[in-house]
A and B are shown apart, each in its own frame.
Chain A
Amino acid sequence: KQEVTQIPAALSVPEGENLVLNCSFTDSAIYNLQWFRQDPGKGLTSLLLIQSSQREQTSGRLNASLDKSSGRSTLYIAASQPGDSATYLCAVAQSGTYKYIFGTGTRLKVLA
């Protein structure tokens, strides 16, 4: 059974820092991995999608990498801003089912 874990569970950093969020999964048979952010009281906003054949994806200050064989993904946020404060979730799509299994989330707070 696929299990997705995110470390750390919570993170507080000063504005301007570069930071890395981690996502690990136990079953490497995945179609893709998607990173989301969730603001308090809101739904999920899609950030980046990495296909199983890809190693990384970039969008603005965000860079996500995928190492399928080791069951790991990282989300790198450059020059963090207070507006980046949110909960970040990773989700893996299982091969053969397309169903998403969500990670436990990382609550990020960027201090001005």
Chain B
Amino acid sequence: SAVISQKPSRDICQRGTSLTIQCQVDSQVTMMFWYRQQPGQSLTLIATANQGSEATYESGFVIDKFPISRPNLTFSTLTVSNMSPEDSSIYLCSAATGSHQPQHFGDGTRLSIL
């Protein structure tokens, strides 16, 4: 199964700043996704990261706030822009080799906004 590494593992940021989270997969994958897990909650899908094209965002998430890149089949980034305390969450990257294959997750990035 794919091994997924996320960086940074945690960060504390100031209000109004931006942070870019990196997700690296150890093998080529078809699908990559970004999720948010707010404190005490389950996971909510932010967007599907599409290789070589714009990400597909879920309702309630917009590109200006959460720009995503996916330059190749093993790497993606999520930027959390103009952060506020409400953005304090765990952000997780996942990947799958195909539509009928299991999704595998990184350890997540724990983000706190002061």
Contacts and interface: CB of A to CB of B under 8 A. Distances in A.
B66 interface: no
Interface string B79-90: 000000000000
A76 interface: no
B53 interface: no
B100 A32 contact: yes
A49 interface: yes
A39 B23 CA distance: 20
A25 interface: no
Interface size class, chain B:
20 to 34
Interface string B30-62: 010101000000111100100000000010000
Chain B binding surface SS class: strand
Interface string A86-106: 000101010000111111110
B42 A99 contact: no
Interface size grouping (class) on chain A = 20 to 34
Interface string A31-54: 110101000011111100101000
B33 A100 contact: yes
Considering the complex of A and B, which 3 residue pairs feature the smallest CB-CB distances, nearest first?
A: A43-B107, A44-B105, A49-B102
Interface of B: 1, 4, 6, 31, 33, 35, 42-45, 48, 58, 92, 94, 96, 99-108, 110
